[in-house]
Structure 1
Amino acid sequence: MRTKRVAVTSPQTRLAHSRRRARTRSPVAKLEAADAGRAVRIYRAQRRMAVTALVLLFTFLLGLPLLLSLLPALGEVRVFTIPVSWLAVAVLPYPVLVVLARWQLRRAEHAEDRE
């Protein structure tokens, strides 16, 4: 004789499920033909700019270790007892990311303003 299966759940789970809000999708705005064309042009321009920024980012991130391997003398130079090569790999990418992000944002906003 088989016994009936029972799902065992935590009281916390039941409480979480009871508090869950209904998830509704927000309506998609309908654009007129002129606005839709403008939106597509802006999207394409910003996508091209983003690809350029990503290529620069990957070039930097992949080129930095390559450059450091070609210049092993940088491993001997120390700043505050830390090799410059380590500082270049551990610290240098972050300011570069910030500069690249700000550059990309300005270009994207400029593309919107131009249209």
Structure 2
Amino acid sequence: MLDPADVERAQRLFRVQRRRAMVAVGWLFALVLLLPLGFEVWPQLDSMRVWGIPVSWLAVVVVPFPAMVFLAVWQLRRAERPEDEA
């Protein structure tokens, strides 16, 4: 069981971390939704090729995964910062 002061601190940390997580989730949704939108806006990406592979396919493989790793690391650091300060 936590002391009342610890409960308040834990709730405050939870709220801060939840807000920060929502920002990261928003960026993730933007990444997932904007990639297909980009293919719709620029259909010529299907006909452009690098090493014989359509640029749109390369974008599906190369862009999301490093971006998700970056978002995960970024979010982890942002989530830990309030704990270190408190």
The verdict on a shared fold, with TM-score over 0.5 as the criterion, is yes
Aligned equivalents of 1:76, 1:114: Cα separation in 2: 51
Pairwise CA RMSD: 0.9
Q: Percent identity?
A: 52
2:11 maps to 1:43:
no
Show CA shifts across 1:4-46 (max 9, x none). xxxxxxxxxxxxxxxxxxxxxxxxxx11111111111001111
* Structure 2 unpaired stretches of 5+: none
Q: Give the alignment of 1:60-99 within 5 angstroms.
A: 60-99=31-70
From the two aligned structures, give the one with the greater helix fraction: 2
TM-score, with length taken from structure 1? 0.71
Secondary structure class of the residue paired with 2:67? helix
Whichever of the two has the greater Rg, that structure is 1
Q: Identify which of structures 1 and 2 has the higher relative contact order when contacts are C-alpha pairs closer than 8 Å and 6+ apart.
A: 2
Q: CA deviation at 1:90?
A: 2.5
Q: Which residue identity is paired with 2:73?
A: R
Whole-angstrom CA distance in 2 between matches of 1:83 and 1:38 = 52
